[in-house]
Structure 1
Amino acid sequence: MIEFTKEYIDHLKNIISQKDDAAARNALKELYPADIAELYKDLTLEEATYLYLLLDGDKGADVLMELDEEDRHKLLKHLPNEVIAQRFVDNMETDDAVDLMRELDEDTQEEILSHIKDVEQAGDIVDLLKYDEDTAGGLMGTEMIVVNENWSMPKCMEEMRKQAEDMDEIYYVYVVDDDERLRGVLPLKKMITNPSVSKIKHVMKKEPISVHESDSIEDVAQTIEKYDLVALPVVDSIGRLVGRITIDDVMDEIREQHEREYQLASGISQDVESSDKVWLQTAARLPWLLIGMLGGLSNSFILGGFEGTLTSNPKMALFIPLIGGTGGNVGIQSSAIIVQSLANNSLRSDKIVQQMLKEIVVALINASIISLIVFLFNFFLLGDKRITAAVSLSLFAVVMFASIFGTVVPMLLDKLKVDPALATGPFITITNDIIGMVIYMTICSILM
């Protein structure tokens, strides 16, 4: 990754101020689109616009898609819709063009579509915009090499050359029948070793892996990962080939999804970045902070209810952080394993009981070891048998509860169609703190 020095940025700004087109083009010529997008952070909107309008169509389109969503939105608002259509969208693959169009309001979308020169591409974009963006149909592109199963190899090669002219990358050659239904994939080796075959259906690889246009992005990612594919064909309800999804598109979507889940697990209620405005970051963080505050107040009321016990046995207060911290950590560990299993579909419905039994056994082992260590520590250092017994029993009970609770909650959220990542964050921690405190104070009251 290139690091742009202050001297480089100053030199580039000087070129821009002088409107030296030749020098600016020369400065950008050797840079990758991602590097040019990185320059945006050091330029004003006017300076960035000047540079982007100097780029050729293909590179300009790539740079636009490399920008952060907020930066891209600012740039698009600064450019005429006709320029966006003819300099950017016209040179994008349909899946990228659709991603760009989804960021714009409907009026702007319609105006941009009216300026696209390639009518077929405009039609493809309109069709793809109808799909839900979280499905295979919303992620796919329509650029692909498609041949008919009844073609001879020479005719197939001729048609492939024509179709390949407008494509940047070719991953697979898809074979369809006369009704456009996907029938197979034509490997490159077969083209080389069978140059004169009469019909390519005799040498194609039959029953190719594909996904349905309504399948979720998670299903698409799992299919690509399971079968080690770099592209995946998409079919409609009757098996007709309608598009293809490449691995880079899937990785971008999965990365964004993981970022959202990580923030959710951290107690951030909506997708934010460090560059977002203060009010937006506050709105994203505050809800769970308020819930955490209520959880803390609940713990205070619980402790207040056992004030007499604490007064007569002040050493009990020493172990309150231990009880709360252990319960929270155990709950997060258990929930994280289940959330991961749900995400990669390794936890099937017929394995739920087995998973619960396994978690109980693990919890018994962990609880026994932790409570035994604390028991020995307190027995030899405190010498108070009642507190020693109370703390050890409480830790055992808290670890058992937190393990089972952390296992059950993600499964329940998944059944209710709520993101189970919620169960790996403050929700588990706050709940385990409160329940753990009730368990600890109840056992202490009984034994004291």
Structure 2
Amino acid sequence: MTPFKLTDELVLEIQLLIDNQKDAELLSLLEEVHYADVAEIINELNPEEATYLIKLLDSDQTSDVLTELDEDVRERILNKLSAKEIAGELEELDTDDAADIVAELPNEIIQEVISEIEDREHAKDIVDLLRYDVNSAGGLMAKELVKVNENWNVLTCVKEMRTQAENVTRVHSIYVVDDEDKLKGRLSLKDLLTTATTTHIKDVYIPKVDSVNVNEKPEEVAKIMSKYDLEAIPVVDEIGRLVGRITIDDIVDVIKEEADKDYQMAAGISQGVEADDSIWELTRARLPWLFLGLLGGVCAAAIMGGFEDLISQHALLFFFTPLIAAMAGNVGVQSSAIIVQGLANDDLKGSISQRLIKEMLLAALNGVILALVLLFFTWIWQGSFITSLAISVSLIAVIIVAGIIGTFTPLFLHKRGIDPAIATGPFITTSNDIFGILIYFTIAKMLLGI
């Protein structure tokens, strides 16, 4: 299969066909195009062209297209569709995707759209999903699944599964429940096929099954599914009743969103934004951390001002200030990045004190190696051993302190319920710059006897 490549020529061709209302040619051109690629095309069209294309294509294709569109593009298209047309698209979607789209609609038309959905059971499931927090397993799950009662025999089980499977895109697992819909276990397809038709399900099902509560955070669900290599996981309510399932495609979206958020936070962007957002939105996201950097720079300048006599007598110290600040920031970011990654993957071992001691020893080793190189270079360059020694010893101390700060900060934030990813951005860099410069000039002053 040749990977789809969106070109300006293709977009222009589609725009011309829409302008001239060449519906047959449009349908022929897009007949074999995957819905995700159709969404990529629609993202490049204006709202009128996008809406025309959505109305032209069959609902079984455009419903999936809607889930792949950029949120602002989807909003503009939905605003141009009637409640009945939106309902027609929702009928073709799994309940989790349908609920996500309904949640984006203006409050005044949600009820109207729901009432237009002909499949009342589908509408009921969508409404049920809307009551869950979007940042929970309940808000992530879909209602479509295959479940069987432990008291059924194999023959009844197969008949019921055939009916249920009509509404399920992919059958990952067969879940077993009791008469109160409480999750009991899972059923192996092999056992089902090799067991006598009169055998009861409770005699053959596997009682061990991983599940999550409706209130579980999506990030925790992702950890569980990743750890146990699950393609789907059942969701239960507060009393253990099976209410839905989460599939791997939803978890991939969670992981991507979390990675994007952490990357932006590490780069000093305080809220989720995209390149196409307005200048005002981008400014609001960036300015707080830029202001922090400005404040850090002012503090560093003030610290250096307190050592004016030292700098005037040993001007060489001034030239190495950027190096000290950069090393402090780099070591801090390295240390915090490792801790944040460990917290995200839930694989940090040992106590905080053990982690700090290990990081301090690692920083000391790296600091000594780098300081020896710097000592040799500075001594050869300037010929002043005592000044070179002061700079090198300061570098060791700065690296050790930066490593400790970079380790302790994300652990502290995590304990306080604050996203530790904040510690990989300008926050840790700025704080280490300030501490680094203060330590640098303090040690230099002590060793040079001023």
Q: Which residue of 1 aligns with 2:18?
A: 16
Identify the range of structure 1 (370-379 vs 147-156) with the bigger mean alpha-carbon deviation. Answer: 370-379
Q: Which residue of 2 aligns with 1:113?
A: 114
Q: Which residue of 2 aligns with 1:425?
A: 425
How many residues end up aligned between the 2 structures? 446
After superposition, give the CA deviation of every residue in 1:377-418 in whole Å (9 maximum; x if it has no partner). Answer: 223332212211211111111111000101111011112211
Q: Which residue of 1 aligns with 2:377?
A: 377
Runs (5+) with no aligned partner, structure 1? none
| 1:87-126 equivalent positions in 2, closer than 5 A | 88-126=89-127
| Counterpart residue identity of residue 48, structure 2 | E
2:214–2:237 contact (8 Å) kept in structure 1: yes
**Cα offset, 1:152, TM superposition:** 1.3
2:95–2:143 contact (8 Å) kept in structure 1: yes
Change (3 A) 1:388 1:151: same
2:43–2:70 contact (8 Å) kept in structure 1: no
Cα RMSD of the aligned pairs, angstroms, is 1.5
3-state SS of 1:232 partner: strand
Q: Which residue of 1 aligns with 2:28?
A: 26
TM-score, normalising length: structure 2: 0.96
| Counterpart residue identity of residue 11, structure 1 | E
2:18–2:49 contact (8 Å) kept in structure 1: yes
Q: Give the Cα–Cα distance (whole angstroms) in 1 for the partners of residues 378 and 415 of structure 2.
A: 43
After superposition, give the CA deviation of every residue in 1:304-347 in whole Å (9 maximum; x if it has no partner). Answer: 22222111111111211110011001000110111111112222
**Cα offset, 1:113, TM superposition:** 1.5
Q: Which residue of 2 aligns with 1:38?
A: 40
3-state SS of 2:246 partner: strand
Q: Give the Cα–Cα distance (whole angstroms) in 2 for the partners of residues 365 and 422 of structure 1.
A: 27
Q: Which residue of 2 aligns with 1:147?
A: 148
Q: Give the Cα–Cα distance (whole angstroms) in 2 for the partners of residues 327 and 367 of structure 1.
A: 11
| Counterpart residue identity of residue 365, structure 1 | L
**Cα offset, 1:197, TM superposition:** 4.6
| Counterpart residue identity of residue 271, structure 2 | Q
**Cα offset, 1:231, TM superposition:** 0.3
3-state SS of 1:70 partner: helix
| Counterpart residue identity of residue 61, structure 1 | S
Q: Which residue of 1 aligns with 2:360?
A: 360
Q: Give the Cα–Cα distance (whole angstroms) in 1 for the partners of residues 42 and 245 of structure 2.
A: 31
3-state SS of 1:242 partner: strand
| Counterpart residue identity of residue 186, structure 1 | L
| Counterpart residue identity of residue 248, structure 2 | I
Identify the range of structure 1 (369-378 vs 180-189) with the bigger mean alpha-carbon deviation. Answer: 369-378
Q: Give the Cα–Cα distance (whole angstroms) in 1 for the partners of residues 248 and 9 of structure 2.
A: 38
Q: Give the Cα–Cα distance (whole angstroms) in 2 for the partners of residues 325 and 52 of structure 1.
A: 53
| Counterpart residue identity of residue 391, structure 1 | I
Identify the range of structure 1 (12-21 vs 56-65) with the bigger mean alpha-carbon deviation. Answer: 12-21
3-state SS of 2:21 partner: coil
Q: Give the Cα–Cα distance (whole angstroms) in 2 for the partners of residues 365 and 104 of structure 1.
A: 57
| 1:385-424 equivalent positions in 2, closer than 5 A | 385-424=385-424
After superposition, give the CA deviation of every residue in 1:242-291 in whole Å (9 maximum; x if it has no partner). Answer: 10000100110111111011101110011111111111111111111111
Q: Which residue of 1 aligns with 2:60?
A: 58
Identify the range of structure 1 (356-365 vs 215-224) with the bigger mean alpha-carbon deviation. Answer: 356-365
| Counterpart residue identity of residue 201, structure 1 | K
| Counterpart residue identity of residue 179, structure 1 | E
Q: Which residue of 2 aligns with 1:167?
A: 168
3-state SS of 1:198 partner: coil
Q: Which residue of 1 aligns with 2:438?
A: 438
Q: Give the Cα–Cα distance (whole angstroms) in 1 for the partners of residues 319 and 282 of structure 2.
A: 36
Instruction: Using the aligned pairs only, state the percent identity.
Output: 46
| Counterpart residue identity of residue 114, structure 1 | S
Q: Which residue of 1 aligns with 2:6?
A: 4
**Cα offset, 1:195, TM superposition:** 4.8
**Cα offset, 1:54, TM superposition:** 1.7
Q: Give the Cα–Cα distance (whole angstroms) in 2 for the partners of residues 356 and 102 of structure 1.
A: 45
Q: Give the Cα–Cα distance (whole angstroms) in 2 for the partners of residues 105 and 188 of structure 1.
A: 44
Q: Give the Cα–Cα distance (whole angstroms) in 2 for the partners of residues 34 and 218 of structure 1.
A: 25
| Counterpart residue identity of residue 434, structure 1 | I
| 1:18-417 equivalent positions in 2, closer than 5 A | 18-86=20-88, 88-347=89-348, 351-417=351-417
| Counterpart residue identity of residue 314, structure 2 | N
3-state SS of 1:171 partner: coil
2:219–2:254 contact (8 Å) kept in structure 1: no
After superposition, give the CA deviation of every residue in 1:1-40 in whole Å (9 maximum; x if it has no partner). Answer: 3123333333322221222222222222101011101112
Q: Give the Cα–Cα distance (whole angstroms) in 2 for the partners of residues 301 and 352 of structure 1.
A: 33
3-state SS of 2:351 partner: helix
| Counterpart residue identity of residue 393, structure 2 | L
Identify the range of structure 1 (407-416 vs 110-119) with the bigger mean alpha-carbon deviation. Answer: 110-119
| Counterpart residue identity of residue 389, structure 1 | L
| Counterpart residue identity of residue 404, structure 1 | I
2:47–2:73 contact (8 Å) kept in structure 1: no
Runs (5+) with no aligned partner, structure 2? none
After superposition, give the CA deviation of every residue in 1:92-134 in whole Å (9 maximum; x if it has no partner). Answer: 1111112212223322322222222222222212221111111
3-state SS of 1:245 partner: strand
3-state SS of 2:185 partner: strand
Q: Give the Cα–Cα distance (whole angstroms) in 1 for the partners of residues 94 and 361 of structure 2.
A: 52
Q: Give the Cα–Cα distance (whole angstroms) in 2 for the partners of residues 342 and 273 of structure 1.
A: 26
Q: Give the Cα–Cα distance (whole angstroms) in 1 for the partners of residues 268 and 348 of structure 2.
A: 25
2:222–2:254 contact (8 Å) kept in structure 1: no
3-state SS of 1:233 partner: strand
Change (3 A) 1:219 1:7: closer
**Cα offset, 1:426, TM superposition:** 0.1
Q: Give the Cα–Cα distance (whole angstroms) in 1 for the partners of residues 304 and 352 of structure 2.
A: 36
| Counterpart residue identity of residue 229, structure 1 | L
Identify the range of structure 1 (350-359 vs 262-271) with the bigger mean alpha-carbon deviation. Answer: 350-359
**Cα offset, 1:437, TM superposition:** 0.6
2:237–2:243 contact (8 Å) kept in structure 1: yes
Q: Give the Cα–Cα distance (whole angstroms) in 2 for the partners of residues 26 and 20 of structure 1.
A: 10
Identify the range of structure 1 (319-328 vs 292-301) with the bigger mean alpha-carbon deviation. Answer: 292-301
3-state SS of 1:134 partner: coil
